[in-house]
Amino acid sequence: MEKIVILTGAGISAESGLGTFRDEGGLWAQHAIEDVATPEGFARNPQLVHGFYNARRAQAADATPNPAHDALARLEAEHKGEVLLITQNVDGLHEKAGSRHVLHMHGELAGALCQACGDRWEAPLVMSPDDPCPSCGTAATRPDVVWFGEFPYHPDKTEEALAEADLFAAIGTSGQVYPAAAFGQMAREMGAHTVELNLEPSAASQDFHECRLGKASLIVPTWVDEILSMSSGG
Ligand code: OAD
């Protein structure tokens, strides 16, 4: 049965009211990456970094999934083969929509991580540099998100999934951040049919057999309907 692997990025959550990074007025136009999304920035000013992620955590907590998230949850529930989401998003909207097989390659706003002992726990809505780790007591807690200069999570499972995929789709991602930007090429070289669904062609468009342009809330449900009707032989 066909194995489907889907990479998602900030564009899928844009219509849930969460800002993307590189669109006009996006997060990286408002904040310097080196200040809020690097280990060095955190070492320099942990209060600033916690403030940035506290604000994003609060927004994500209030956000609801849009029809694109819902359609991917429906795909997982109704497709007879395997469906795996690999998301760069830290907002938790795929799970809120009902998806269960989700790899968070850039971590999650809902997670906290101790830099001293590596323990992980559920992040409170507001984190601060003085928070002690519940396990070792050190005040070295950080959001459990992956920053620039760090390694994305789940590399082995990701590589295996890309190698086994029959169908690979990238949704709402600009194709500018590696390694995710290379997943289309990797999956294609390993034999998958590759589809890009995005508002505009991404920097990695050439790696896809098909490119569907438009808002995720419109084009993703249509695409999911097509796959489900094909796999049911309808
Ligand atoms: P970007 O902000 O780089 O790209 C978002 C993409 O979504 C763009 O190509 C937009 O055209 C598209 N888009 C915007 N609105 C859309 C909509 N309604 N429907 C469909 N597509 C839409 O976000 P990412 O590619 O996710 O990493 O960024 C990748 C990584 O860079 C993030 O995980 C984050 C960031 O820096 C870290 O912080 C480590």
DSSP string across the chain: ---EEEEE-GGGGGGGT---SSSTT-HHHHS-HHHHSSHHHHHH-HHHHHHHHHHHHHHHHH----HHHHHHHHHHHH-SS-EEEEE---S-HHHHHT---EEETTEEEEEEEETTT--EEEPPSS--TTPPPTTT--S-EEEEEPPTTSPPS-HHHHHHHHHH-SEEEEES--S-STTGGGHHHHHHHTT-EEEEEESS--TTGGG-SEEEES-HHHHHHHHHHHHHHHHTT-
Quick one: 206 and 167 in the same domain? yes
Question: pLDDT at position 47, please?
Answer: 97
Residues 53 and 109: their CA atoms lie apart, in Å, by 7
Tens digit of pLDDT for each residue in 151-205? 999 999 999 999 999 999 999 999 999 999 999 999 999 999 999 999 999 999 9
Give residue 98's identity as a one-letter amino acid code.
G
Question: What pLDDT does residue 14 have?
Answer: 98
Question: What pLDDT score does 35 carry?
Answer: 97
For residues 165 and 215, membership in a common domain is answered with: yes
Ligand 1 centroid to Cα of residue 63, in Å, is 17
Same domain, 164 and 126: no
- pLDDT at residue 232 greater than cutoff 90: no
Condensed to tens digits (0 to 9), the pLDDT of residues 50-74 reads: 999 999 999 999 999 999 999 999 9
* Mean pLDDT along residues 12-31: 95
CATH number where 176 lies? 3.40.50.1220
Tell whether 73 and 138 lie within a shared domain: no
Distance CA 106, CA 151 (A): 9
Q: Could you tell me the CATH number of the domain that includes residue 25?
A: 3.30.1600.10
Q: What are the Cα distances from residue 67, in Å, to 9, 46, 71, 89, 202?
A: 15, 36, 6, 16, 22
Question: Residues 210-216: what's their mean pLDDT?
Answer: 98
154 is catalytic: no
Catalytic pick from 50, 69, 79, 106? Answer: 106
Measured between alpha carbons, how far is 112 from 91 in angstroms, rounded to an integer?
Answer: 14
> CB of 82 within 8 A of CB of 4?
yes
Structure-token pair, residue 1: 């049965």
Per-residue pLDDT band for 231 (boundaries 50, 70, 90) equals confident
Is 1's pLDDT higher than 70?
no
Instruction: Based on the fold, state whether residues 204 and 172 are members of the same structural domain.
Output: yes
Burial of 100 (0-12, 13-18, 19+ CB in 10 A): exposed
pLDDT above 80: residue 233: no
Domain interval for residue 53? 19-62+108-145
Do 13 and 25 lie in a common domain? no
Contact between 105 and 87 under an 8 Å Cβ cutoff? The reply is yes
Q: How many domains would you assign to the chain?
A: 2
Integer-rounded Cα Rg, in Å, for the chain is 18
What are the backbone angles phi and psi of residue 105, rounded to the nearest 5°?
-70, -25
Contact residues of ligand 1, CB 6 A cut-off: 9-11, 14-15, 20-23, 26, 37, 88, 106, 146-148, 172-174, 176-177, 198-200, 202, 215-216
Per-residue pLDDT tens digits for 112-164: 999 999 999 999 999 999 999 999 999 999 999 999 999 999 999 999 999 99
Report the C-alpha gap between 18 and 6 in whole angstroms: 20
